[in-house]
Structure 1
Amino acid sequence: MGLFSFIKNAGAKVFGIGKTDAEEAAEALEAKKNAEAAAAANMKQTITDLQLEVENLNITIDGDTATINGAAYDQATKEKVVLVVGNSNGIATVDDQMTVENVEPEAQFHTVASGDTLGKIAKTYYGNAMKYPVIFEANKPMLTDPDKIYPGQVLRIPALD
């Protein structure tokens, strides 16, 4: 006896057992779409749980890109929704299609690096490390403790009044 070669998907065609590559690909695509829909639903629930006011909120996910539609109450809410979605596992890009009911200045965004603290970030943006509570408040309820930020997390840095 020796090594025998066979057509990989012959069993699915000849005997009706197993699945063809096309059937497996179709199932994988369906599973991916279901997982993306479930992730979008979880994000919407998180936004609701955080009491962020967005009318007609709709989130769709395609690969590592999330698209957000809806009408946010204000600019801060819009930015927080973008952060909730963007800081979710598996999301690399957020396509923000939301509108804002009450217009106000846009905030800057800061990606936390290793060794960053809210005080250090406040010093960079405001020139005063003691302004860290402004950043903490601007990122509530996503942040629950000013000492618990992590590298890669994106934070809102609002303009000072």
Structure 2
Amino acid sequence: MGLFDFFRRDAGKKLGGTEAPDPEHTKAELGRLGPDVQGLGVAMNGDTVTVKGQTTNQDAKEKAALLAGNVHGVPKVDERITVTQPQPESQFYTVQSGDTLSKVAKQFYHDANKYPAIFEANRPMLKDLDEIYPGQVLRIPPAA
């Protein structure tokens, strides 16, 4: 996957009560939200957060990168997580003003009723179907 550009510094969750991202708070947030990444390492280099580690599945790898990038003040994520059992990669989409999960599902799957697949792929970051915001980056899993 490599380097992700999250474009907006002002989107995402503020961690530790500060404007600037902090590797320790970001690592704690990743651990709290649960993508199963062994040997998780989080580092800041300028405006880029690097996440490293190893996991058994693509889902955990993508969620870790997505969670790190949806932290307030993080415009770029350098994802260096290895997967022992690789699977097809997801696409990523930056939410635009007026988007809904149904609209995004229609765009990617040609079926607005497939929005639950997008919602589930972005849990635990998403807690409510109606709470997405412009600038947020969503993971769009391959069509089933």
With structure 1 as the length reference, what TM-score do the two structures score? 0.75
Q: Percent identity?
A: 48
Pairing of 1:21-100 with structure 2 (within 5 A): 39-100=22-83
- In structure 2, what is the Cα distance between the partners aligned to 1:64 and 1:47? 18
Does residue 154 of the first structure (1) align with residue 144 of the second (2)? Answer: no
Give SS of 2:39's match. strand
- Counterpart residue type for residue 50 of structure 2: T
> Displacement of 1:97 after TM fit?
1.1
* Structure with the greater alpha carbon radius of gyration: 1
- In structure 1, what is the Cα distance between the partners aligned to 2:128 and 2:56? 25
Give SS of 1:97's match. strand
> Displacement of 1:73 after TM fit?
2.8
- In structure 1, what is the Cα distance between the partners aligned to 2:24 and 2:117? 30
> Displacement of 1:74 after TM fit?
0.9
Runs of 4+ in 1 over 6 A off after TM superposition: none
Structure 1 unaligned segments of length 5 or more: list them.
1-34
Partner of 1:6: none
Query: Once structures 1 and 2 are overlaid, which stretch shifts more, 86-95 or 148-157?
Result: 86-95
Pairing of 1:94-109 with structure 2 (within 5 A): 94-109=77-92
More helix by share: 1
> Displacement of 1:68 after TM fit?
1.0
Partner of 1:134: 117
- Counterpart residue type for residue 154 of structure 1: V
- In structure 1, what is the Cα distance between the partners aligned to 2:29 and 2:56? 17
> Displacement of 1:101 after TM fit?
2.0
Figure out how many residues of one structure are paired with residues of the other and give that number: 125
- Counterpart residue type for residue 129 of structure 1: A
Task: Write the deviation string for residues 32-88 of structure 1: whole angstroms up to 9, x where unpaired.
Answer: xxx9xx811111111111121111110101221111110023111111100111111
Of 70, 95, 102 in structure 2, the residue corresponding to residue 119 of structure 1 is 102
- Counterpart residue type for residue 137 of structure 2: V
